Amino acid sequence: QQQVKQSPQSLIVQKGGISIINCAYENTAFDYFPWYQQFPGKGPALLIAIRPDVSEKKEGRFTISFNKSAKQFSLHIMDSQPGDSATYFCAASLYGGSQGNLIFGKGTKLSVKP
């Protein structure tokens, strides 16, 4: 019930294309869904996050779509650029459960080809 399943494991997209990464969860009590971006040799950095009271959040070229009934959320990267090549992690947490520990997906390695 505490798992977050992320797909695909790896993704290759042409420059200018749309990158889509999907995550699914079981625990309906999760109240926070962040996405992290990690470049080689660096720690994960918070990219964008959503709470379950909204169905979509957009920040620049990055959009989270959230489907509460299907227990799924996804990251869309519009106009993908080679600089977006990184590993992306989705996560979920439950307020009050172990002080807001994040449950991470296993990550998606994105490569954007020029």
Partner 1 sequence: DVKVTQSSRYLVKRTGEKVFLECVQDMDHENMFWYRQDPGLGLRLIYFSYDVKMKEKGDIPEGYSVSREKKERFSLILESASTNQTSMYLCASSPTGLGTSQPQHFGDGTRLSIL
Q: Which chain residues interact with partner 1 by CB under 8 A?
A: 9, 31-32, 34, 36, 41-46, 49, 51, 89, 93-95, 98-102, 104-107
Q: How far is the CB of 66 from partner 1 (least distance, A)?
A: 15
Q: Is the dihedral of CA 106, 43, 102, 12 positive or negative?
A: negative
Which residues lie closer than 8 Å to 59 by C-beta, 6 or more apart? 48
Judged by beta carbon, residue 43 or residue 83, the one nearer partner 1 is 43
Q: Which is nearer to partner 1, 39 or 79 (CB)?
A: 39
Residue 4's nearest CA partner among 26, 28, 30 is 26
